[in-house]
Amino acid sequence: MTTPKNILGMDIRSWKDKYPLLSILLKKKVVFWFNPKLARYEFIKDNVSVSTTQLQDAENRWLRFAPLFQHLYPETLQFEGRIQSHLKPIPKIQTKLKKFGKKSLHGNFYAKLDNELSVAGSIKARGGIYEVICIADGLLREKWQFTDNSSCLQITESKFQAFFHQYTISVGSTGNLGLSIGLIAQKLGFQTQIYMSNDAKQWKKEKLRSNGVKIVEIDGDYTKAVKVGRETAEEDPMVFFIDDEQSYDLFYGYAVAAFELKSQMDAQNIPVDQDHPLFLYLPCGVGTSPGGITYGLKTIFGDHVHCFFVEPVACPSMLLGLLTQKHHEISIEDFGISAHTEADGLACARPSKFVGKIMESLVSGIYTVDDDDLFGLLAMLWDSEQIQIEPSSAGPLLGPLHLMAAEEYSHYIRDHNLTNAMEQSTHVLWFTGGKFLPKEIWDANYTRGTHNQLYRDLT
Is 176 an interacting residue with respect to ligand PLP (CB under 6 A)?
A: yes
Among 178, 285, 296, 365, binds ligand PLP (CB under 6 A): 285
Judge contact between 156 and 72, C-beta under 8 A.
Answer: yes
Considering only the stretches 77-85, 229-237, 284-292, 324-332, report the one whose residues sit in contact with ligand PLP under the rule CB under 6 A: 284-292
Residues 52/58/63/67 CA torsion (nearest 10 deg)? 180
In the complex, the smallest distance separating the C-beta of residue 267 from ligand PLP, rounded to whole angstroms, is: 25
Q: How many other β-carbons are positioned within 10 Å of the β-carbon of residue 88?
A: 17
In the complex, the smallest distance separating the C-beta of residue 352 from ligand PLP, rounded to whole angstroms, is: 7
The angle at the Cα of 56, spanning 176 to 65, to the nearest 5 degrees, equals 60
Q: Within 13 Å, how many C-alpha atoms sit on residue 263's CB side?
A: 8
Is 85 an interacting residue with respect to ligand PLP (CB under 6 A)?
A: no
Is 173 an interacting residue with respect to ligand PLP (CB under 6 A)?
A: no
Considering only the stretches 119-127, 147-155, 205-213, 332-340, report the one whose residues sit in contact with ligand PLP under the rule CB under 6 A: 119-127
Enter the DSSP assignment of 277: -
Instruction: Cite the DSSP H helix spans in 167-284.
Output: 176-188, 202-210, 222-234, 248-255, 257-267
Site string for ligand PLP, 289-318 (x = CB under 6 A): xx----------------------------
Task: State the amino acid at position 4 in one-letter form.
Answer: P
What distance in Å separates the CA atoms of residue 133 and residue 136, rounded to the nearest whole number? 5
Question: In this complex, which beta carbon is closest to ligand PLP, that of residue 152 or of residue 346?
Answer: 346
Q: Do strands 108-113 and 426-431 pair parallel, antiparallel, or not at all (unpaired)?
A: parallel
In the complex, the smallest distance separating the C-beta of residue 104 from ligand PLP, rounded to whole angstroms, is: 29
Among 283, 316, 365, 376, binds ligand PLP (CB under 6 A): 283
In the complex, the smallest distance separating the C-beta of residue 289 from ligand PLP, rounded to whole angstroms, is: 4
Question: In this complex, which beta carbon is closest to ligand PLP, that of residue 250 or of residue 413?
Answer: 250
Among 288, 294, 299, 388, binds ligand PLP (CB under 6 A): 288
What distance in Å separates the CA atoms of residue 336 and residue 16, rounded to the nearest whole number? 14
Site string for ligand PLP, 333-352 (x = CB under 6 A): ------------xx------
Radius of gyration of the chain (CA): 21
Closest CA relative to residue 294, chosen from 360, 390, 393: 360
Considering only the stretches 7-15, 37-45, 97-105, 277-285, report the one whose residues sit in contact with ligand PLP under the rule CB under 6 A: 277-285
Within residues 122-141, the interface with ligand PLP by CB under 6 A covers: 122-124
Is 189 an interacting residue with respect to ligand PLP (CB under 6 A)?
A: no
Sequence-ordered list of residues with C-beta below 8 angstroms from that of 36, at least 6 positions apart, any chain: none
Within residues 362-401, the interface with ligand PLP by CB under 6 A covers: 390, 392-393
In the complex, the smallest distance separating the C-beta of residue 437 from ligand PLP, rounded to whole angstroms, is: 11
SS3 string, 331-344, reads: CHHHHCCCCCCCCH
Question: In this complex, which beta carbon is closest to ligand PLP, that of residue 189 or of residue 290?
Answer: 290
Q: Which 3 state secondary structure label does DSSP give 73? A: coil
Within residues 20-59, the interface with ligand PLP by CB under 6 A covers: none
Question: In this complex, which beta carbon is closest to ligand PLP, that of residue 124 or of residue 298?
Answer: 124
Is 168 an interacting residue with respect to ligand PLP (CB under 6 A)?
A: no
Considering only the stretches 33-41, 185-193, 269-277, 288-296, report the one whose residues sit in contact with ligand PLP under the rule CB under 6 A: 288-296
Judge contact between 29 and 371, C-beta under 8 A.
Answer: no
Considering only the stretches 23-31, 232-240, 286-294, 378-386, report the one whose residues sit in contact with ligand PLP under the rule CB under 6 A: 286-294
In the complex, the smallest distance separating the C-beta of residue 123 from ligand PLP, rounded to whole angstroms, is: 5
* String of DSSP letters for 149-168: TS-GGGGGSHHHHHHHTTSE
Is 286 an interacting residue with respect to ligand PLP (CB under 6 A)?
A: yes
Is 432 an interacting residue with respect to ligand PLP (CB under 6 A)?
A: yes
Question: In this complex, which beta carbon is closest to ligand PLP, that of residue 81 or of residue 321?
Answer: 321
Enter the DSSP assignment of 421: T
Q: Measured over all CA atoms, what is the biggest interatomic distance in the chain, rounded to whole angstroms? A: 63
* String of DSSP letters for 82-109: -----EEE-HHHHHHHHHH-SSPP-SEE
Residues forming the site for ligand PLP (CB under 6 A) = 122-124, 176, 283-290, 345-346, 390, 392-393, 432-433
